[in-house]
Amino acid sequence: MNALSECLQDLNDSILNECMAVRVANGAPKLWRGERIAASWSIKALKIVASIAMVAAVVMAAAILPTLRRPGGRPQDSFCPDGILVEATVKGSKLNEAYFFAYCDIIDNYAPILLRSHEELLALISDMDEKLPDDTYHQALEKHSNIEEIIATYDEAYFKEHDLILYTYTDDIDDTETYMGLFWNETIREYQIHYLVDVHHTGIDGTLKFPVVQIETAKKLEPNCSVKIKFTTVRDDECHYCYP
């Protein structure tokens, strides 16, 4: 048993009472582990179904909306009537958070990077390719094993054919998933978001150095809604999601 846990055994009743009053597990008998796992899988299954449904809805909306707005237009060209999609893979590299984090480490700069154009994104990736050793991406993936799976599931299998960029991250501890689909709108020269799920997490090692994609607008954006996106890293007290 941990030493500190032993010391805590006789904690003051008033402190325990305070917690007992607010614990969700207090009111009703809590599920045992087996039941919890079953419930957890049910939730996961629901999340997956919901995610697929969301993506399918977005894709359908994206395909239909341009036609509705501009009769005779070519919906297959773009999700947006005047938009140009960014390729899912650029020079064989995928820009994701773990990779970006490794890059930030190397350039020793955690300042927010605001991408204003497709060219800036390409330049950033190019700089990454130049500065990062060949195996960095794979090392980053090894640190965060679930990323590869998510990329394989969503990015390669689905989004690549739609030329979407997918930024993704999965927390190994609590399975929090962070992913979204982006495309570039040439007319307004901003990235646009098709869907977005749980953009915030703190990283699995608790150091808070992991990059967080900060979205300056609310979630559940309408198709073709424009947002500015910053790729940034958060260290300790800087995270405005946790400490607004």
Question: Binding residues for other proteins, per CB under 8 A?
Answer: 1-13, 15-20, 22-34, 171, 173-174, 176, 200-202, 206, 208, 239, 241-242
Of 221 and 239, which has the nearer Cβ to other proteins?
Answer: 239
**What does each C-alpha distance from 174 to 178, 182, 205 come to in angstroms?**
12, 25, 12
CB of 200 to other proteins, least distance (A): 6
The residue among 10 and 216 lying less far from other proteins, judged by its C-beta, is 10
HSE-up (13 A, CA, CB side) for residue 53: 6
Q: What span, in angstroms and rounded, lies between the C-alpha atoms of 154 and 52?
A: 10
Residue pair 166/179 in contact by the 8 Å Cβ criterion = yes
Q: Which is nearer to other proteins, 17 or 76 (CB)?
A: 17
How far is 207 from 209, CA to CA, in rounded Å? 5
Q: Could you identify the residue written with the tokens 């689909």?
A: 181
Question: Would you say 172 or 186 has its CB closer to other proteins?
Answer: 172
d(CA 96, CA 220): 21
Query: 168 by DSSP, 3-state: which?
Result: strand
CB of residue 32 vs other proteins: minimum separation in angstroms? Answer: 6
CB closer to other proteins, 35 vs 127: 35
Structural contact between residues 58 and 194, judged by C-beta atoms closer than 8 angstroms = yes
Residues 6+ apart with CB under 8 A from 50: none
Place of tokens 């007319």: 187
Q: What are phi and psi of 163, to 5 degrees?
A: 55, 45
Nearer Cβ to other proteins, position 168 or 185?
168
Minimum Å gap between C-beta 20 and other proteins is 6
Minimum CB distance to other proteins, residue 88 (Å): 27
Minimum CB distance to other proteins, residue 219 (Å): 13
- Least Å distance, CB 167 to other proteins, is 17
